[in-house]
């Protein structure tokens, strides 16, 4: 049994008419569930990414059935590659969008063997954090314009409670290696590190771009493909580590839906972290280190300079 949830999308999401959403990793799991809720509530247009075109097509068909007036566009994207992110950003921005209300950085991987992204970064760090930092950077001008013209724009970084595993700073000098020497639980340490970075980056985003509302969330513990596709021992580890937190699949996207749609004035504080559903949560001591936020920001800017703008 997971946490007691009183949130209900049917009652708690207002009509989203006019609003434009962009979500990474919409082809499966929490991202897909979130898109279906946004569509049911009359979003104006939902843009989404992923690698799996077949899943994208089936989602587009499903949205067409439940909400034929909602615009929906898929961008094929491999987030191991800055070039792929740049292509998606160019493709979206070249359509001259007049607004982007909510960017949801949701795509992610968890665990797995040590590896490198196409740009040479630790694979989980590359996909979960760096690719989203790049997309965010490209979308900030439109988000700021939307905030000024529509009254608000929002960035949601889908992190994880696994960020709590990060007990110190970030090993900047090792992030361009596989970090394959972290021992028996190395895959979880690398996952936690990437999710830690998302939270720090969110806090610094809120400081540097105060007209945009930037928050991080832990969506929930829900057995989507990200867990189901892991080897048996890894699944066992997750079961033990998250005992009592697992939520039913249909509730797995509630926190992400809340984050994307709840009116700012009611409950959202930019720079903060929210656990399910809509519960503002204090950062761990290492994550509350403002010097580290700035250090990560500057390091990230340097990495993205080499990207293919």
Residue 271 as a binder of ligand NAP (CB under 6 A): the answer is no
Token pair of 79 as six digits:
């987030």
Question: How far apart, in Å, are the Cα atoms of 225 and each of 32, 87, 109, 152?
Answer: 12, 26, 10, 33
**Which residues in 110-169 contact ligand NAP (CB under 6 A)?**
110, 127-128, 158, 160
Rg of the Cα atoms in the chain: 18
Residue 44 as a binder of ligand NAP (CB under 6 A): the answer is no
Look-up: residue for tokens 């985003």?
205
216, β-bridge pairs: 157, 273
Question: Which CB atom, from 129 or from 293, has the smaller least distance to ligand NAP?
Answer: 129
d(CA 213, CA 156): 8
Minimum separation from the CB atom of position 107 to ligand NAP (A): 4
Token pair of 3 as six digits:
């946490």
Cα–Cα nearest to 231, from 108, 102, 110, 88: 110
Binding mask 229-268 for ligand NAP (x = CB under 6 A): ----------------------------------------
19, 121, 195, 254: the catalytic one is 195
Contact segment (CB under 6 A) with ligand NAP among 57-65, 91-99, 218-226, 282-290 equals 218-226
Question: Which CB atom, from 78 or from 289, has the smaller least distance to ligand NAP?
Answer: 78
d(CA 292, CA 207): 13
Q: 3-class DSSP state for residue 227?
A: helix
Minimum separation from the CB atom of position 149 to ligand NAP (A): 30
Chain residues that interact with ligand NAP, rule: CB under 6 A: 25-31, 50-52, 55, 77-80, 106-110, 127-128, 158, 160, 218-219, 221-222, 224-227
Catalytic residues: 191, 195
């Amino acid at each position: 049994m997971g946490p007691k949830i009183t949130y209900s999308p049917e009652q708690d999401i207002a009509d989203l008419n006019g609003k434009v959403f962009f979500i990474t990793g919409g082809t499966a799991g929490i991202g897909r569930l979130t898109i279906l809720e946004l569509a049911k509530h009359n979003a104006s247009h939902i843009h989404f990414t992923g690698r799996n075109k077949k899943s994208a097509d089936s989602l587009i068909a499903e949205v067409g059935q439940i909400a034929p007036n909602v615009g929906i566009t898929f961008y094929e994207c491999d987030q191991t590659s800055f070039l792929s992110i740049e292509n998606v950003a160019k493709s979206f921005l070249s359509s001259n969008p007049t607004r982007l209300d909510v960017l949801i950085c949701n795509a992610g991987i968890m665990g797995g063997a040590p590896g490198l992204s196409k740009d040479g970064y630790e694979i989980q760090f590359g996909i979960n954090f760096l690719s989203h930092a790049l997309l965010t950077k490209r979308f900030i001008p439109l988000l700021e314009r939307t905030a000024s013209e529509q009254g608000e724009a929002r960035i949601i970084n889908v992190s994880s409670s696994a960020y709590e595993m990060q007990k110190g700073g970030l090993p900047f000098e090792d992030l361009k290696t596989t970090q394959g020497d972290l021992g028996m639980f190395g895959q979880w340490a690398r996952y936690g590190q990437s999710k830690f970075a998302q939270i720090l980056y969110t806090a610094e985003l809120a400081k540097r771009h105060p007209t945009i509302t930037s928050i991080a969330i832990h969506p929930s513990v829900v057995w989507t493909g990200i867990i189901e596709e892991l080897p048996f021992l890894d699944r066992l580890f997750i079961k033990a580590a998250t005992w009592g937190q697992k939520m039913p699949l249909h509730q797995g996207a509630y926190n992400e839906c809340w984050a994307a749609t709840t009116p700012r004035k009611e409950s959202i504080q930019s720079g903060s972290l929210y656990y399910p559903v809509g519960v503002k949560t204090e950062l761990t001591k290492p994550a509350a280190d403002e010097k580290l936020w700035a250090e990560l920001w500057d390091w990230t800017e340097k990495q993205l300079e080499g990207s293919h703008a």
